[in-house]
Chains A and B, each alone.
Chain A
Amino acid sequence: MRMSTRLAAEAKRAPGFDAQACMSCGVCTAVCPMGYEVLPRSLFRMVLLGLEEGVREHLPKIYSCLLCRMCEANCPAGVRIAENVRSLRTLVNRREFKLT
């Protein structure tokens, strides 16, 4: 998968997106009530690394997050995960669905 430096740069600039502080421990994935293995750690990582194909493949999962904040309450790096999902939705709405 080729890294899109443009997507990586946009993610970095997206308001409220702070998944850079993630240290990839995987606690969030373990506690996610949705049980998708990409939620939310792997998904953020694909966005950060600008892996457009990967993000596209998992679009429905971005919208299936319940914003329950179970992950956020357990994140040892203090990442504002639910805020990041919302920021990611805004980014996808613009890039993929041209909504804004």
Chain B
Amino acid sequence: MAAHRRIGVFVCHCGGNISDHVDVKSVADAVASEPGVVVSKTHTFTCSDAAQQEMIADIRNEKLDGLVIASCSPKLHLFTFRGMAERAGINPYQYVHVNLREQCSWAHTDDPGGATRKGAALVRAGIAKAALSRSLHALRVKTAPCVLVIGAGISGLRAALALADLGLEVHLAEQADEPGGAVRRWGPLAPDGQSGREVVGGLLARVRAHPRVTLHTATGLVAKSGSIGDFHLTLRSAGGAETALHAGAIVVATGFDSYEPKPGEFGRGLEGVVTLPEFRDGADLQGGTLTFRNRTVKSVAFIYCVGSRQSESETCPSPNAWCSRFCCTAATHLAAQIAAQEARGGAAVTQVHLYRDIRTYGHNERVYEEARRGGALFLRYGDGTPPTVERADPGLLVKVKDELTGDAEIEIPADLVVLVTGMVPRSNPGLMDVLKLPVSKDGFLGEIHIKLRPVETVIDGVFIAGAAQSPKSMAESVGSALAAVAKAGALLKKGYVDLEPLIARVDADRCLWCDECLKACPYGAIEKVPCGGKEIAQVVASQCKGEGACVPVCPHGALDIEGYTDAQITAMIDAGIRGEAVR
């Protein structure tokens, strides 16, 4: 059946990685008379430039229309050889990769004969697949030069500006009535003392003045269709007004929530026990005295790691295991400011900081040093012996074991106790449902690879930025926002995306539209269309991932996945076991 094909087979030694245990010459000889094979050779390294040049010459001279390279894992060189095929003038999807190294030589070092026979069988299967291969072409989707940024906090604002500066149209949607996120209310920040209000105010002014950014407040995303480069989106304002958008990418920068301690946790509920955000909002150093909600504070105790780095226990069945990263720096910076006020001749304030480990990493180490030199006392408590807070007369009494004074029980009188609360994921079920974004186990948004692909998600064209992904400082949030800009910008400035053509196809003659494939598809890539007097299924190419769930459920055998058709798989199995039967 494949006699009309002209297939070339190239078997790789991979130095000795393959040829030490697989007799590559006998593999090449064994398949030389397979139907359709006109060339069967070996190379020391098929991936080398010289070998590629020789293979290209063979492809051209022999007018090959099918190619099998038996070498290493396709993870390493599939794209190398697809590129080579293209340069030689044949369709890259008429090239089949066979993995002799991982699947034969490395797997069967103790059985060279068996490894060689298995290699020949796999190459025969590859030839059978190549014999049924078709020219396929990447689906090219034109991208819309517009980005929706969700969340107008520091990350969203910075991302919106940078995207607009790239020449893209940006819509910035903020759920709250006011843009600016958490940072908008904050005073002086570590390490340089610039206030959150200033930082956000500056960004916001630039965003408002930018001709390519449209800011939507009190607005959320309520519907999304389409795919990478070509999303159709609907925004809805609190008043019910809807805006339709055609956007090529989405950046999700929805931020975090502040941990709210449970009643009784470190004295929460007692008068004078406040959280870090409450302290930041209510504290004032103007006039040389530390006041909180207009009452003078002479002594204050800070308790660190509240709501962060928790261990599982009966009272805490789903612990926040993470470090929130910003809180040590925020609290020590407050300490340094209070100390500096005192050094300028202000009223004395006794401040005791009860910590587990101080994590003022990077440049912020200086802030911790400043706080200590300024007279803030730091006292480490053990994980198993957290401090307790109780009412005293007057004020509050904090009891703690000081590890560094031989576990002495110390009672600290305080006017105010500040619980240094961390970040928790912001729950956003409505938005997650629209975006179909997975949430990781800890509740933050999940990236594809924590180190190498930190702002991409499993939904192509949807990127994440800032503390929505994990606890981050402002600098880190902005860094990740700009990383998302780089990814979205690179995608949209190119003007198009090429999608892998290894997707489902429908045989219009066989299909009778029963909707089984529609129900099986998790990507919404099947639609019903009229065709020659009947209704049939059609694959939405830009949404199909080639996953194949539709194929086995079709009662009429009308569906196939390109590159993995039933005919190809059957032929591969037949070719693979044929050799075994002969033996």
Query: Chain A residues in contact with chain B, CB under 8 A?
Result: 1-3, 5, 8-9, 12-13, 18, 20-21, 23-24, 41-42, 45-46, 48-51, 54
Contact = CB atoms under 8 A, between A and B. Distances in A.
B408 A54 contact: yes
Contacts of B377: 8, 20, 48-49
A48 B351 CA distance: 11
Interface stretch (B195-203, B225-233, B409-417): B409-417
B376 to A, nearest CB: 7
Interface in B285-315: 298-299
A67 to B, nearest CB: 23
Contact of A1 (B298, B299, B376, B410): B410
B188 interface: no
Given A3-B412, A5-B298, A8-B377, A49 B372 contact: no
Contacts of B404: 24, 41-42, 45
B413 A1 contact: no
26 contacts: A1-B408, A2-B410, A2-B413, A3-B410, A5-B350, A8-B350, A8-B377, A9-B350, A12-B348, A12-B375, A13-B348, A18-B373, A20-B373, A20-B374, A20-B375, A24-B404, A41-B404, A42-B404, A42-B405, A45-B404, A45-B405, A49-B379, A49-B402, A49-B410, A50-B350, A54-B405
A51 B408 contact: yes
Interface string B348-361: 10101000000000
Nearest to B376: A20
B380 to A, nearest CB: 8
A8 B379 CA distance: 14
A83 to B, nearest CB: 15
Interface string B388-410: 00000000000000101110111
Contacts of B498: none
A23 B408 CA distance: 18
Q: Which 6 A-B pairs have the closest CB atoms?
A: A12-B375, A5-B350, A24-B404, A2-B411, A3-B412, A9-B348
A11 to B, nearest CB: 9
B369 interface: yes
Contact of B410 (A13, A20, A42, A51): A51
Q: Is the interface of A mostly helix, strand, loop or mixed?
A: helix
Contacts of B409: 1
Contacts, number: 56
Contacts of B406: 42
A49 B411 CA distance: 10
Contacts of B374: 20
A1 B372 contact: no
* Max count, chain A CB within 10 A of own CB: residue among B350, B373, B402, B412: B350
A46 B348 contact: no
A57 B372 CA distance: 26
Contacts of A23: 372
Nearest to A46: B405
Contact of A3 (B298, B348, B373, B413): B413
Interface of B: 298-299, 348, 350, 352, 369, 372-377, 379, 402, 404-406, 408-413
Given A12-B375, A49-B405, 4 more contacts: A20-B373, A20-B377, A21-B369, A51-B410
Nearest to B397: A2
A20 B371 CA distance: 9
B411 A1 contact: yes
B372 A21 contact: yes
A5 B373 contact: no
Nearest to A53: B408
B371 to A, nearest CB: 9
Contacts of B350: 5, 8-9, 50
Contacts of A3: 352, 410-413
Nearest to B414: A5
Contacts of A5: 298-299, 350, 413
A9 B346 CA distance: 13
Nearest to A45: B405
Nearest to B299: A5
A28 to B, nearest CB: 13
A14 to B, nearest CB: 11
Nearest to B298: A5
* Max count, chain A CB within 10 A of own CB: residue among B352, B404, B406, B409: B404
B411 to A, nearest CB: 5
A62 B33 CA distance: 97
Contact of A21 (B352, B373, B379): B373
A9 B404 CA distance: 20
A18 B375 CA distance: 8
A32 to B, nearest CB: 17
Contact of B372 (A8, A20, A46): A20
A56 to B, nearest CB: 14
Nearest to B377: A48
A81 B328 CA distance: 28
B300 to A, nearest CB: 11
A49 B299 CA distance: 12
* Max count, chain B CB within 10 A of own CB: residue among A1, A48, A49: A49
A77 to B, nearest CB: 8
A58 to B, nearest CB: 12
Contacts of A1: 408-411
Contacts of B412: 3
A8 B413 CA distance: 12
Contacts of A2: 410-411, 413
Nearest to A26: B404
Nearest to A25: B404
B319 to A, nearest CB: 28
Nearest to A48: B377
A54 B410 CA distance: 11
Nearest to B350: A5
Contacts of A24: 404
A20 B350 CA distance: 12
